[in-house]
Amino acid sequence: MKKICTSFEDAVADIQDGATLMVGGFGLCGIPENLILALAEKGVKDLTVISNNCGIDEWGLGLLLNNKQIKKMIGSYVGENKEFERQVLTGELEVELTPQGTLAEKIRAGGAGIPAFYTPAGVGTPIAEGKETKIFNGREYLLEKALTADFSLVRAWKGDKMGNLVYHKTARNFNPMIAAAGKVTIAEVETLYEIGELDPNFIHTPSIYVQALIEGKQEKRIERLTVKK
């Protein structure tokens, strides 16, 4: 049995100023939106956030950005967030942009206990500045360090009270690797099941990686709605 939180405020109670967070999702797909809302209401600041992108102006991690709660953002995509773009250009926000595949591997490596790895992505670009390089089989590679976090916030379709998680289709995205790379992982699930009700053959994140769970409904906003004229 893992900690089953009774409110989203309770779920984020241990997250304090200056924490490093990993947050699952891609765009607005698979984001732990209620945990993010609770952080916005809590008002914690000076956060370092590791996520693919920073939501949109009025939703997801964009809420924390608007509140000036994020000190540093590590991600791969500025996306649809005009405030993110503005803060980057004005120097208000420290940003570390990373190729998307490299970001995914840095997180996966962190969860696997691998401190660093070599990749060809970014060689010969500003991303390579100050980084060690090495030649393998005649090709140049960069040394990239793994990422971990004080807290990982993920969103799952199903979870059981042991902490096993199942994600739904593309909402799986960064969530499994982020769940493994946090010292404390908090999972927001759409439906919470009793132990034994989920088929072990279809578990995406084993319970060993999860410390707390909370069940909650989501708005599931659309990042950009395109319809016929």
- pLDDT in the model for residue 77: 87
Q: Could you report the per-residue pLDDT of 172-208, keeping only the tens digit for each?
A: 999 999 999 999 999 999 999 999 999 999 999 999 9
- pLDDT in the model for residue 78: 80
Token pair belonging to 87: 């803060």
% of residues, the chain, pLDDT over 70 = 100
Task: Assign domain 3-215 one CATH number from 3.40.1080.10, 3.40.50.1980, 3.30.465.10, 1.25.40.10.
Answer: 3.40.1080.10
Average pLDDT taken over every residue of the chain: 96
Cα atoms in the Cβ-side hemisphere of radius 13 Å centred on 182: 30
Quickly state the pLDDT bin for 1 (edges 50, 70, 90).
low
Q: What is the C-alpha separation between 179 and 49, in angstroms, rounded? A: 14
- H or E element, residue 82: helix 82-90
- pLDDT in the model for residue 223: 86
pTM, rounded to two decimals: 0.95
Q: Could you report the per-residue pLDDT of 129-144, keeping only the tens digit for each?
A: 999 999 999 999 999 9
| pLDDT above 90 (res 81) | no
Q: What is the C-alpha separation between 177 and 185, in angstroms, rounded? A: 11
Q: What is the C-alpha separation between 44 and 67, in angstroms, rounded? A: 10
Closest to 28 in 3D by CA, of 215, 221, 182, 196: 221
Q: Could you report the per-residue pLDDT of 51-79, keeping only the tens digit for each?
A: 999 999 889 999 999 999 999 999 998 87
Q: What is the C-alpha separation between 87 and 199, in angstroms, rounded? A: 45
Token pair belonging to 145: 């360090």
